[in-house]
Amino acid sequence: MINFKYYVAKLLKKIRGSAITNSKIHKTAKIESGCNIVKSSMGRYSFCGYDCDFIWCDIGSFCCIANDVKIGGAKHPVNWVAMSSVFYKGKDSISTKFAEHSFSPMLRSTIGHDVWIGQSVLIKQGVKIGNGAVIGMGSIVTKDVPPYTIVAGNPAKVIKIRFNEEVVLKLLETKWWTLPEERLLELGPYVNNVDNFLINFTK
């Protein structure tokens, strides 16, 4: 039996749309509704789920980003007497200014290629996530994550490395995420076996 209420609710969720400004999203990438994307970029065949916020963020190709992921965003001057935006330059939610002190600019966050980010992850501005990394759901990432590393927790800590160092270096050298679609079709049958993939990559 078809659950019409479910499909109506799903439709309403999708038609909300997303707020995207000053950003470059590849035509093959997918962004679900409810997202807020500002001064960011997303590479080919990457996708993000519902209700994500990406502020000053560069996301590579073939990334899988779940719902409710937040990357980047504002910071405040914790070494000042007051941290309120009414004391520094720039347009903010509160328009009143009691001073206009210079404040360090926002740092860009970088998400590499083929990165998997679980649901409800928070990533601090300026953090760099390496190619092939995995961020466990609910994690709060405050430091850079090396390539092919799995991290999780609050704050996020290394759980394991996906492959040994030799394999990681070989995968990074392939830069397979830059390959044309024709070559990806040839290599696609081997992605479920690292050794076979690397062997066939060199053919």
Two tokens, residue 158: 């290394």
Phi-psi region of 51 (alpha: psi -120 to 50; beta: other; left: phi over 0): left
CA 83, CA 101: separation in Å to the nearest integer? 11
List the one residue out of 112, 119, 116, 111 whose CA is nearest residue 52: 119
CA 168, CA 37: separation in Å to the nearest integer? 31
CA 154, CA 15: separation in Å to the nearest integer? 33
CA 26 to chain centre: 14
76 among known catalytic residues? yes
- Catalytic center residues: 76
